[in-house]
C-alpha cells in the first residue's frame, strides 16, 4: 500500500517552497521542472521493469530456492 501522507518535515519543506516560488526566476523553475520530470520518467520505468521481472511463481519450501 503506497504511503501518500507527508511527514511533518516534508510538509514544512513543501510550505517553504510554496512561499518562495512566486519570487523564483522563471529559468530556474523550468530547469527544476525538467529535472523532476526526467526523474519521474526514470522512476516509472524502474517500477515497470521491476513489475515485469517479478517472479510469478514464489517458492513455498526452502528446497525450492
Give the model's pLDDT for residue 56: 83
The model scores a pTM over 0.95: no
DSSP states of 1-63: ----PPPHHHHHHHHHHHHHGGGS-HHHHHHHHHHHHHHHHHHHHHHHHHHHHS-SS---SGG
One pLDDT digit (tens) per residue for the chain, 65 residues:
888 899 999 999 999 999 999 999 999 999 999 999 999 999 999 999 999 998 888 777 777 55
User: What pLDDT is attached to residue 3?
Assistant: 84
- Please report the pLDDT score of residue 65 as a whole number: 56
Question: Could you give the CA distance from residue 24 to residue 17 in angstroms, rounded to a whole number?
Answer: 10
Amino acid at each position: 500500500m503506497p504511503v501518500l501522507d507527508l511527514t511533518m518535515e516534508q510538509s514544512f519543506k513543501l510550505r517553504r517552497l510554496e512561499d518562495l516560488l512566486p519570487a523564483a526566476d522563471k529559468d530556474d523553475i523550468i530547469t527544476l521542472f525538467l529535472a523532476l520530470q526526467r526523474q519521474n520518467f526514470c522512476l516509472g520505468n524502474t517500477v515497470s521493469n521491476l513489475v515485469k521481472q517479478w517472479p510469478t511463481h514464489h517458492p513455498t519450501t526452502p528446497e525450492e530456492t
